[in-house]
Amino acid sequence: MAETFRILTLNNISARGLERLPRERYEVASGIERPDAVLVRSADMHKLDIPGTVLAVARAGAGTNNIPVAALSARGVPVFNAPGANANAVKELVVASLFLAARNIGPAWLFARAQTGDDATIDAAVEKGKKNFVGFELPGRTLGVVGLGAIGVSVANAALGLGMKVLGHDPQITVRRAWELSSSVEQAVSLDDLFARSDVVTVHVPMNDATRGLVNAARIALMRPGGVVLNFARGGIVDTPAVIAALDSGHLHAYVCDFPSNALKDHPRVITLPHLGASTGEAEENCAVMAAEQLRDFLENGNLRNSVNYPEAVMPRAAGTTRLVIANSNVPNMVGQISTTLAAAQANIADLLNKSRGEYAYTLIDVDGDIDAPTFEALRSIEGVLSARLIAS
C-alpha cells in the first residue's frame, strides 16, 4: 500500500491548493500531531517547537521570514516557497499604474469628485478643467525594467504588447527567465544606461543592501524630463526624498507605488496603493497550488523544486527501484561513503543525483530492489547525513 502522509496547516490554505493532496494519501488538518510536513502562509514558526517528524515545510507565498530556515536546514529539512505565483497579480497592477500615470487618472478623478452644483455647472467645470489633465500615450515610449525575475519579465512582455519599447537590466537573470523574456526586450548595459534611455522606470528587484536606494537622485536626473517611476517591489528601493524633489521640480511627472508613507500619500503627483500587488484571490490560490504540488513531489518522490535552502533536485522515478533520499552536509566523500555502504549490501545503483547549494547537499539514489533496515541505518549514521528516508517503488 502506498505510504500516507500527515500535513499540518498553520494557516487557512486555499481549497484549490489542498485539492492537490489527495485524501487517500494525505491527512491535512490544523491540529495534526506528529506531522510529516507543514503547510504555512504567514504564521510565525520561529517560536514553534517543530516536531522531529517533519520532513519539509512549504510556504504558500514568496518570503520565508516567518520560518526558521537555518535551523531546519541543519536538520536536513527542505523549506519550499512559491516564487512567481503572484507575478501575474503584480504585473496587472503595474500595467494599471502605467495608465494611471500616463493619463493622470488619480488627480483627474479627484478633480471630478470635487465638483458640485447642477449637471450643467459640472459640465462647464469639466470642459474648463480637463486641460490640466492632458496625458500621454504609451506606444513609442520606453519602459526600463530593473530586475528580470518572475514579475519583471512578465511586465516587460506586457509592455511590449502595449506598443512600448522595453529595456531590461538584470546581471543575474536566470536561464528560465531569459527563455520567457521576449527577444524584443533590449538589454541595458548598466542601470545608468537604463535610466538615461527610459521614460518610465519600474523596479522588480528584492530589497537588499545592493538595491536599497537604487532609484536615487543621480539616476532620476539621468531620466528624460517628464519621466515616471513605478515601485511595486519594496518602498526602500526608491529614495523617497529624491523622488519628491524631482516631482516638485517638474523633472519627474509621477511616482506610483505600493508603499504609502506620510511623505508620499498626499503628494499631488504621487499615487500610493496599500500594498495591493499580490492581493488577488488568484495569487493566493496559485501560491497554495504551487506549495502543495512541490510538497507532494517531495514526499512521494523526494524531488526538490523551489526549495529556499536546498538545491533544485529532480530525478525521474524508475520502476522496480527503491529511492534513497538524503540531505547532507556539503563536504567531500559523502557520495563515496553512501555508495560504498550500498555496495557492501550488494545494492545496485540504478540512478543517482547529487546537487549542492552552499553548505548543504542533496542526494537521490535509485537502487534496484529493496534496501534492508541495517543498510539504511548504516547510511543514516554516516557523519554528515542530516536526514534520510526510503521511498518504496
Ligand X SMILES: NC(=O)c1ccc[n+]([C@@H]2O[C@H](COP(=O)([O-])OP(=O)(O)OC[C@H]3O[C@@H](n4cnc5c(N)ncnc54)[C@H](O)[C@@H]3O)[C@@H](O)[C@H]2O)c1
By the criterion CB under 6 A, which residues form the site for ligand X? 62, 83-84, 86-87, 90, 146-152, 169-170, 172-173, 177, 204-207, 210-211, 232-234, 258, 275, 277-278
By the 8 A CB rule, do 366 and 353 touch? no
By the 8 A CB rule, do 111 and 131 touch? no
Residue type, position 120, single letter? A
Helix spans in 135-231 (H): 150-161, 175-180, 191-196, 217-222
State the nearest-atom distance from the C-beta of 262 to ligand X, in Å: 19
By the 8 A CB rule, do 235 and 205 touch? no
> Of 272 and 321, which has the nearer Cβ to ligand X?
272
**296 contacts: CB under 8 Å, gap ≥ 6:** 20, 21, 26
> Of 23 and 176, which has the nearer Cβ to ligand X?
176
> Of 78 and 84, which has the nearer Cβ to ligand X?
84
Cross-sheet strand order for the sheet of 26-29:
26-29, 5-9, 37-40, 56-59, 79-80
> Of 234 and 253, which has the nearer Cβ to ligand X?
234
**Exposure class string for 110-128: b at 16+ Cβ within 10 A, else e:** ebeeeeeeeeeeeeebeee
State the nearest-atom distance from the C-beta of 51 to ligand X, in Å: 31
Report the alpha-carbon distance of residue 313 to residue 356 in Å, rounded: 9
State the nearest-atom distance from the C-beta of 174 to ligand X, in Å: 6
Report the alpha-carbon distance of residue 187 to residue 184 in Å, rounded: 9
State the nearest-atom distance from the C-beta of 115 to ligand X, in Å: 33
Report the alpha-carbon distance of residue 327 to residue 304 in Å, rounded: 11
State the nearest-atom distance from the C-beta of 288 to ligand X, in Å: 15
> Of 87 and 313, which has the nearer Cβ to ligand X?
87
State the nearest-atom distance from the C-beta of 304 to ligand X, in Å: 17
State the nearest-atom distance from the C-beta of 208 to ligand X, in Å: 7
Give the nearest residue (CB) to ligand X.
Answer: 149
> Of 91 and 253, which has the nearer Cβ to ligand X?
91
The grid coordinates listed for 123 are 459640465
> Of 83 and 135, which has the nearer Cβ to ligand X?
83
